[in-house]
Amino acid sequence: MPEGPEIRRAADKLQEAIVGQPLRAVEFAFARLKHFEDELCASTITEVETRGKAMLTHFANGLSVYSHNQLYGRWYVIKAGRTANTRRSLRFAVRGESREVLLYSASDIEVLDDIGIATHPFLQKLGPDVLSTTLSEARTQQQLRDRRFQRRRLADVLLDQAFFAGIGNYLRSEILFQARLLPTRKLGELRNDEQNDLARAILLICRRAYQHGGVTNDLQRAAELKAAGLSFGQRRHAVFQRGAQACYLCQSIIEHAELNRRVFWCPSCQR
Ligand SMILES: [Zn+2]
């Protein structure tokens, strides 16, 4: 399942293709949304925003299309008039003069105004977005001290979108390795310095993954592994999906277990 950085990169692509373009057609597959088609088509797209794993396509007329891809949804950007090479079913299409953006397979699509966004049950529950450019280290630390989450294991709480929006399974393992914390530790047990390490790791790893195509490994190390001929999958992460291989820092064997989903850690570097 794509995580925050993958959704944000998809949004960047859509934004580049369609923002400000005159529109030829807006289409929904669902009958309940069809009455919005003409009004949206007469408008233009101003921004493609992400909140965690949800996307908001904002139109100049004040309406926004909310979409959540869940496991199956997929966006395509194609030249106008071409067809996407897929057998999936088309759910939402914005056809511009030169390019078209098409959402396939997703079922979670709604049209919302500002009040609808402010009161949306999923959006309302989201914690701070790890890819928001305005998320500060201080705000991140504040969230780590929020009482609601103190009794939870790090492995569990990091996947909770109400804690931080946009963290998924690979980011969880990589953040905990960067912070040198074991996945079984409880949030409320962390010392102040450990809390600060975790706050910094959340921001560093999520932003690195966004800026470097999903790479969470140390960038210098990833470059050396690339030069040594390792594939993208082999050099991408420090611990995630590296079970039974040696830790890059201490040579201990990376362990893994099912904690909610599969989590990976170094038994020596992480405490
Ligand atoms: Zn290690």
Ligand 1 centre and the CA of 268: distance in Å? 5
Ligand 1 centre and the CA of 157: distance in Å? 23
pLDDT tens digits, one per residue of 220-252: 999 999 999 999 999 999 999 999 999 999 999
Q: For the chain, which residues score pLDDT lower than 50?
A: none
At residue 69, the pLDDT reads 83
Ligand 1 centre and the CA of 248: distance in Å? 7
At residue 76, the pLDDT reads 94
Structural domain spans, the chain: 4-125, 137-265
Residue 54 pairs in a beta bridge with 51, 68
Q: Which residues belong to the active site?
A: 2-3, 53, 262
Burial class (CB in 10 A: 0-12, 13-18, 19+), 162: middle
CATH 3.40.1190.20 for domain 137-265: no
- 4-125: CATH topology is N-terminal domain of MutM-like DNA repair proteins (3.20.190)
Kindly give, in sequence order, each residue whose CB lies less than 8 Å from that of residue 265, ignoring residues fewer than 6 positions away: 173, 176, 177, 182, 183, 239, 254, 255, 256
pLDDT tens digits, one per residue of 15-56: 999 999 999 999 999 999 999 999 999 999 999 999 988 999
Instruction: For residues 91 and 44, give the distance between their C-alpha atoms in angstroms, rounded to a whole number.
Output: 19
Task: Give the tokens for residue 107.
Answer: 């079922």
At residue 63, the pLDDT reads 98
